[in-house]
């Protein structure tokens, strides 16, 4: 049994431990607790929130690492125009989603994009880097990796990206 210990007045996480401490605690699964204990997961990427009168422990939707300029590529997008990384098993293809004006803009854009491919949910375990000009996203660009258990990270996002796993 593992516990997330936090301050209920601020919801600031004080730590993750196999035992309750002198704080309010939320019970979490052993496999998740071991990820924190082994240093694979960092509680800075998680938060406690009150939901229907009950405290829950949730992963942040836009994770940041200790380098404040690195962000997880989100799994959803609330905008109409974006570049989508579609992952099928260990292959990723790029697709531009949006109106014709946006697609034309991307097709002419020479901006270099670097996407960091890491072990799943671990921005510190770099496996590979995808480098491409933004205009190449309109040209059926595809990447293949040794594993399908990956996450995507990027520098401060100047463009909207989405990571879809099929």
Beta strands 12-17; 2-7: pairing state: antiparallel
- Top pLDDT among 126 and 22 is at 126
- Per mean pLDDT, which range of 2-11, 77-86, 98-107 is the poorest? 2-11
Domain ranges of the chain: 2-59, 70-165
Residue 5 CA to residue 20 CA, distance in Å, equals 7
Does residue 157 carry a pLDDT above 80?
no
Note the pLDDT of residue 69. Answer: 66
Compute the distance between CA of residue 58 and CA of residue 108 in angstroms, rounded to an integer: 39
Count of alpha carbons within 13 angstroms of residue 132, beta-carbon side: 21
pLDDT in tens, 86-100: 999 999 999 999 999
**70-165 CATH fold:** Immunoglobulin-like (2.60.40)
What's this model's pTM, rounded to 2 decimal places? Answer: 0.59
Cβ contact 123:65 at 8 Å: yes
């Amino acid at each position: 049994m593992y516990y997330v210990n936090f301050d209920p007045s601020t919801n600031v996480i004080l730590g993750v431990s196999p035992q309750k401490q002198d704080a309010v605690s939320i019970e979490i699964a052993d496999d998740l607790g071991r990820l924190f204990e082994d240093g694979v997961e960092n509680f800075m990427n998680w938060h406690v929130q009150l939901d229907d009168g009950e405290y829950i422990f949730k992963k942040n939707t836009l994770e940041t690492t200790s380098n404040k300029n690195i962000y997880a590529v989100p799994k959803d997008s609330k905008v109409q125009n974006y570049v989508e990384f579609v992952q099928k098993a260990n292959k990723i293809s790029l697709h531009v989603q949006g109106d014709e004006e946006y697609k034309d803009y991307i097709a002419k854009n020479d901006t270099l994009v670097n996407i960091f491919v890491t072990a799943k949910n671990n921005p510190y375990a770099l496996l590979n880097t995808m480098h491409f000009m933004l205009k190449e996203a309109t040209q059926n660009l595809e990447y293949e990796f040794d594993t399908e258990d990956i996450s995507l990270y990027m520098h401060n996002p100047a463009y909207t990206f989405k990571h879809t796993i099929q």
